[in-house]
Structure 1
Amino acid sequence: MTGGSNVEIEDCGDETYQLQIKSIKVTPDIVKPGAEVTLEVEATLSETVYKDATAQVTVKIGAVTLLRKVYDLCGTLENNKDKVDLQCPIEKGNLKITQKITLPKETPRGDFRVYVNAYNYDDADLACFKIHADFRQRFNGLLQLVSAGLVSWSDQSFSPSYYSSRTRVSNVEIEDCSDETYLLQIQSIKVMPDIVTPGAELTLEAEGILLETVTPGSFADVQVKLGVVTLIRKRFDLCDTLENNKDKVDLQCPIEKGNLKITQKITLPKEIPKAVFKVYVNAYTADEADLACIRIKVNFRPRRFLQLGNSY
């Protein structure tokens, strides 16, 4: 980082790229959670940008990939027209772009890297950016990231796990949000160890009754949030996910109806930031019948907390 800033932007394109960057300015120099940031870019565009231009975006914290997604450039500009003074088609020539971004207050401390590769409608190289944002300083700030794959279940008859005011019982709180109409009736859940920490291995043991056989085509909608910021929203094929993790979970499709016992080992990334994460899982059978509903809260902040009630 130079110039006292905690954000560094690198133009990784070369002379063959259609967007030739002249200058990039971020103000203020030190970005903070909840603050407004202004991005000013001056460049020369050698070809007009039309509909179907795309950007591939990868977000990492340390070695962990948090996001990998392809965006429609023109669609993104249209959806943010109140924040950026540019719309498609973007005519070739000199460009000056100003964009205002309000950063989420819940941004955790961490060392983030963002990689952006943009392409024109005909797949020609348009632009390449690398962004490094270091929020491990006392002036932490920016970006909306992070997730750790934690999956665990609890029966509604159980009290939620939480930090007590004097003794830390668990930093994982789980809610079974299904009802008697759901095909998976969860009876018990156990997560070991009680305190889940970055870089450690945890074991999940769950027992329940499955009322119908789970066949290929079953799926789960998963959402991961940090505060009000959505980090991941994705649909997973249940049977494919089990197959791809068969060395870690003792269950494969078809999952026959009847009594069910699941054991799964999960190794968490070391680079998980110190923050509170919420995971929402809604699972469905191949014919879209309700299978399960689970809500999970994991608190990685390293201090004693008051009891966590259901605050989903």
Structure 2
Amino acid sequence: MRLLSVFCIGALSAGNLASAGSWFGTDDVNVSDVQKVPGDSPLEFCDKDRAEDIVVIEKVDLSPNPPQAGTQLVIHASGTVNAPITQGAYVKLVVKYGLIRLISTTADLCEQVENVDLKCPIEKGVLSITKSVDIPKEVPPGTYNVFADVYNDDDTPITCLQATVTFGMNRNSAESVNVDDL
């Protein structure tokens, strides 16, 4: 799901997310008091205290929201980087399908930002990203919970985000079923 790349200041991509991590890992992201990220997306901050974060996410919009399997997702994100993000920055990522942990990994943030045409170091300043991502039609229906806790090389928090996305049956495929074929 390339939408994570913008969710974490352009940090993650679908290809790397889908192939990363181990099944049923032990690294959990601490999720406490949540707060919605401004904009039209399922994103929430992991907790209310964002004062120490290097990145202040101002808005994230998805089109369509919620994302749908077999469609193109357009992500618009904007925010402010308050300190340089440097080589060695990383993200702790957990993806669950229902109760099943699909991915639990730590990924190199600087390798991932290249998926949204950024390079480390990411300097201080305003950052605006627009990215189009094709969501495979083969995404199994169900609810996916994603947690991304992002840190700079010196363990300073960059941001922490979570989202719950439910993929269902595509309406077009449901309408194309011929009753006589059943």
TM-score normalised over the length of structure 1: 0.41
Matches of 1:292 and 1:66, distance apart in 2: 21
Is 1:238 the counterpart of 2:109? The answer is yes
Q: Which amino acid aligns with 2:101?
A: T
Q: Is the 8 A contact 2:22 2:102 kept in 1?
A: no
Secondary structure at the counterpart of residue 280 of structure 1: strand
Matches of 1:191 and 1:69, distance apart in 2: 26
Bigger proportion of residues as helix: 2
Q: Which amino acid aligns with 2:45?
A: D
Assess, with a 3 A threshold, how the Cα gap between structure 1 residues 156 and 197 changes in structure 2: closer, same or farther.
closer
Q: What percent of counterpart residues are identical?
A: 30
User: Could you tell me which residue of structure 2 aligns to residue 267 of structure 1?
Assistant: 134
User: Could you tell me which residue of structure 2 aligns to residue 35 of structure 1?
Assistant: none
RMSD: 2.8
Q: Is the 8 A contact 1:250 1:263 kept in 2?
A: no
Query: 1:140-155 to 2 correspondence within 5 Å?
Result: none
| Residue 294 (structure 1) aligned to one of 141, 157, 161 | 161
Q: Which amino acid aligns with 2:70?
A: G
Matches of 2:45 and 2:108, distance apart in 1: 21
Q: How many residues align?
A: 142
Q: Which amino acid aligns with 1:176?
A: F
Secondary structure at the counterpart of residue 214 of structure 1: coil
Q: Which runs of 5+ in 1 are unaligned?
A: 1-64, 72-143, 145-154, 162-171, 304-312
Matches of 1:157 and 1:69, distance apart in 2: 26
Post-superposition Cα deviations, 1:195-238, rounded to whole Å, max 9, x if no partner, equal 42112221111111111101111011110001221110111111
Deviation, structure 1 residue 285 = 0.2
Assess, with a 3 A threshold, how the Cα gap between structure 1 residues 254 and 274 changes in structure 2: closer, same or farther.
same
User: Could you tell me which residue of structure 1 aligns to residue 42 of structure 2?
Assistant: 173
Assess, with a 3 A threshold, how the Cα gap between structure 1 residues 251 and 68 changes in structure 2: closer, same or farther.
closer
Matches of 1:191 and 1:70, distance apart in 2: 28
User: Could you tell me which residue of structure 2 aligns to residue 218 of structure 1?
Assistant: 89
Assess, with a 3 A threshold, how the Cα gap between structure 1 residues 66 and 251 changes in structure 2: closer, same or farther.
closer
User: Could you tell me which residue of structure 2 aligns to residue 252 of structure 1?
Assistant: 119
Deviation, structure 1 residue 194 = 2.4
TM-score normalised over the length of structure 2: 0.68
Q: Is the 8 A contact 1:250 1:264 kept in 2?
A: no
Matches of 2:91 and 2:165, distance apart in 1: 20
Query: 1:96-135 to 2 correspondence within 5 Å?
Result: none
Is 1:204 the counterpart of 2:59? The answer is no
Matches of 1:217 and 1:279, distance apart in 2: 22
Q: Which amino acid aligns with 1:184?
A: V
